[in-house]
């Protein structure tokens, strides 16, 4: 592979940390593409819920009919408008999650076969085109199970959008070490994590107001359905910024190896490289803990007077803010620490926070503080792990390994949602918090931070 523009090793005069990686012009374009792509992903979910509430759920939910009968088979109540919105939104979540759980490995293989920039540009461009089809789902048509064809059309579009995301994600991760010199990878991944969390907070917090602003603002100009312009613009800008990246990738010959064999080659990397395997385990453990916290935050919020179960998102937002703060700290000073020490410190911080969350539940200030501290611990663990995977994985195998990583992480995010909720309902919140804290503590000790890497 030829030298990449803007990737010369940093000199003594080059700024370090986040300033240093943003000074790299090609990485800066990738980062701007990530910003708009991440925002579009979050705005997409908000738009789907917005449309469900606006067009498919009336003020009074149906007392009978096919939809009520189908919900009854799954023991789901739709006696209120909020319950019906939740039920239909769950369909969107499922359509978005299935490709993430099933296609990560295959998408990673193809990301290695194709040029990374072309994969990223094409996936964002096609997603922009799919987003432009959403208004068609508002047209009148046949009904199935008590719902307009348009809702089922949204499920199909959501499924296809998620399929394209599975190709974009491993290509993006594999592109970072192509555009950033090794000494700056830690800072680049810190910025990536901070941006991802910031997009989550901004996208979910401001998605509905932005959609309503576009809808009402463009309506005053005589343009109806202005809320539909947001997604094509975001995905389009992401594709445009990435298309401007100047990178020379070798033309790869057509592969004669089967997809399944290449998946096996990606798994072989984990067997052959202990550092990559250990880092992957750390990421899976971390996302499992965060998914469990997502469920338990409802119980934690319920115990706080003035908050209540419906405002559990406040606790999650605080964890996200802590992760963003931790990411910035790792970017600025993390290069001076042993990564094994950072990982152990992150796991220990998570364990300590989980124990205290159980002991001090009921206090709003302390719970918010501990959620923020837990987020900082997550950053200390996630960013060095991601950087190690990028550095130690051979360039020809990065797409496969990152596809496998995304697959495992999506499973890690899904299974604890069911298991944690079941355990909390059976044994209570405190024992579950202790078990999770014990897992994090054992993982911290297994890392043996007192030894040198």
Q: Where are the domains of the chain?
A: 20-246, 274-453
Tell whether the model's pLDDT for residue 75 goes beyond 60.
no
Backbone angles phi, psi at 106, to 5 degrees: -65, -45
Condensed to tens digits (0 to 9), the pLDDT of residues 252-261 reads 655 566 666 7
Strands (E), 90-201: 143-144, 147-148
Q: What is the arithmetic mean of pLDDT over 290-298? A: 77
| For the chain, counts of helices (H) and of strands (E) | 16, 2
Distance CA 60, CA 53 (A): 12
Q: What is the arithmetic mean of pLDDT over 238-247? A: 92
CATH code of domain 274-453? 1.20.1250.20
Q: What is the arithmetic mean of pLDDT over 356-374? A: 87
Q: Which positions ≥6 away from 336 have C-beta within 8 Å?
A: none
Q: What pLDDT does 453 receive?
A: 47
Distance CA 78, CA 72 (A): 9
Q: How confident is the model at residue 421 (pLDDT cuts 50, 70, 90)?
A: low
Taking all residues of the chain, what is their mean pLDDT, rounded to a whole number? 80
> Contact 344/447 with Cβ under 8 angstroms?
yes
| Biggest CA-to-CA distance, the chain | 72
Q: How confident is the model at residue 423 (pLDDT cuts 50, 70, 90)?
A: confident
Looking at per-residue pLDDT, the higher value among 111 and 125 belongs to: 125
Distance CA 48, CA 51 (A): 5
Condensed to tens digits (0 to 9), the pLDDT of residues 16-60 reads 678 888 899 999 999 999 999 989 988 898 888 888 877 776 544
Class of domain 20-246: mainly alpha
Judge if 20-246 and 274-453 fold alike in CATH terms: yes
Query: To which residue do tokens 């789901």 refer?
Result: 76
Q: What pLDDT does 431 receive?
A: 86
Q: What is the arithmetic mean of pLDDT over 157-178? A: 90
């Amino acid at each position: 592979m030829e030298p990449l523009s803007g990737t010369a090793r940093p000199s003594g005069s080059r700024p370090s940390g986040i300033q240093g990686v943003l000074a790299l012009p090609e990485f800066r374009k990738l980062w701007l593409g990530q910003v708009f792509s991440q925002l579009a992903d979050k705005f997409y979910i908000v738009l789907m819920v917005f449309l469900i509430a606006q067009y498919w759920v009336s003020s009074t939910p149906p007392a009978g009919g096919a939809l009520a009968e189908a919900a009854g088979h799954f023991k789901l109540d739709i006696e209120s408008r909020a319950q019906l919105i939740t039920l239909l939104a769950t369909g969107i979540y499922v359509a978005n999650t299935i490709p993430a759980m099933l296609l990560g490995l295959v998408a990673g293989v193809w990301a290695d076969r194709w040029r990374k920039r072309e994969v990223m540009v094409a996936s964002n461009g096609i997603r922009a085109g799919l987003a432009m089809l959403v208004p068609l789902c508002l047209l009148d048509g046949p009904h199935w199970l008590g719902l307009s064809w348009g809702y089922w059309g949204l499920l199909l579009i959501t499924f296809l959008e998620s399929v394209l995301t599975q190709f974009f994600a491993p290509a993006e991760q594999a592109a970072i070490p192509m555009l950033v010199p090794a000494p700056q990878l830690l800072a680049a991944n810190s910025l990536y994590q901070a941006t991802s969390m910031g997009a989550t907070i901004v996208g979910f917090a401001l998605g509905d107001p932005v959609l309503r602003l576009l809808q009402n603002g463009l309506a005053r100009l005589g343009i109806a359905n202005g809320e539909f312009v947001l997604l094509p613009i975001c995905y389009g800008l992401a594709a445009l910024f990435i298309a401007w990246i100047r990178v020379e990738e070798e033309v790869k010959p057509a592969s004669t190896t089967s997809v399944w064999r290449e998946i096996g080659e990606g798994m072989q990397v984990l067997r052959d490289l202990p550092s990559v395997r250990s880092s992957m385990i750390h990421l899976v453990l971390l996302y499992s803990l965060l998914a469990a916290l997502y469920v338990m935050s409802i119980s934690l919020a319920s115990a706080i007077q003035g908050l209540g179960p419906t405002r559990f998102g406040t606790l999650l937002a605080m964890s996200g803010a802590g992760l963003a703060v931790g990411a910035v700290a790792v970017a600025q000073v993390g290069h001076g620490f042993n990564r094994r020490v950072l990982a152990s410190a992150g796991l220990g911080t998570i364990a300590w926070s989980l124990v205290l969350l159980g002991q001090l539940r009921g206090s709003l200030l302390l719970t918010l503080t501990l959620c923020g501290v837990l987020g900082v611990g997550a950053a200390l663990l996630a960013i060095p792990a991601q950087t190690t995977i990028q550095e130690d994985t051979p360039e020809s195998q990065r797409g496969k390994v990152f596809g496998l990583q995304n697959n495992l992480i999506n499973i890690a995010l899904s299974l604890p949602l069911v298991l944690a909720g079941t355990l909390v309902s059976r044994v209570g919140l405190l024992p579950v918090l202790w078990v999770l804290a014990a897992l994090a503590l054992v993982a911290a000790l297994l890392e043996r931070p007192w030894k040198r890497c």
